[in-house]
């Protein structure tokens, strides 16, 4: 079945560092990918919708200059957390929707646990 790969699975870094997270669709082309954030013991909140070849659509309250999204190909979207601070520590998870129509659910990556010291 369809698989979405997310890398890295865990990142620990110092405050001020920029961190890039990759989301790849392994056996299908994904024109649309989604980035979610999940704080401990909380729900998943959509951050942005990543569209191949165009600018990402950000949800209200999400800083586009802070969370840079690039969807340069049909199989790869990247989320860069720029100048990360401890409050950015969270679980980031991506998903991809297959383009064959609405019969396929979103396929989720395994998530990236980001810890900023």
- Residues near other proteins (CB under 8 A) are 32, 34, 36, 41-46, 49, 91, 93, 95, 97, 99, 101-102, 105-111, 113
Q: What is the DSSP string of 2-39?
A: --EEEE-SEEEE-TT--EEEEEEESSS--SEEEEEEE-
Closest CB to other proteins among residues 6, 75 = 6
C-beta neighbour count of 113 within 10 angstroms = 16
Report in angstroms how near the CB of residue 91 gets to other proteins at its nearest. 6
Name the residue nearer to other proteins (CB basis): 86 or 101: 101
């Amino acid at each position: 079945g369809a698989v979405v790969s997310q890398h890295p699975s865990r990142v620990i870094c110092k405050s001020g560092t920029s961190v890039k997270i990759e989301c790849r669709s392994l056996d299908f082309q994904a024109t649309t990918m989604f980035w979610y954030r999940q704080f401990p013991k909380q729900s998943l909140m959509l951050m942005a919708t990543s569209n191949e070849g165009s600018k990402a659509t950000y949800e209200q309250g999400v800083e586009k200059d802070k969370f840079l999204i690039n969807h340069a190909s049909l199989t790869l979207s990247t989320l860069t957390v720029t100048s990360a601070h401890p409050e950015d520590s969270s679980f980031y998870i991506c998903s991809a929707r297959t383009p064959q129509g609405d019969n396929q659910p979103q396929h989720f990556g395994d998530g990236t646990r980001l810890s900023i010291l």
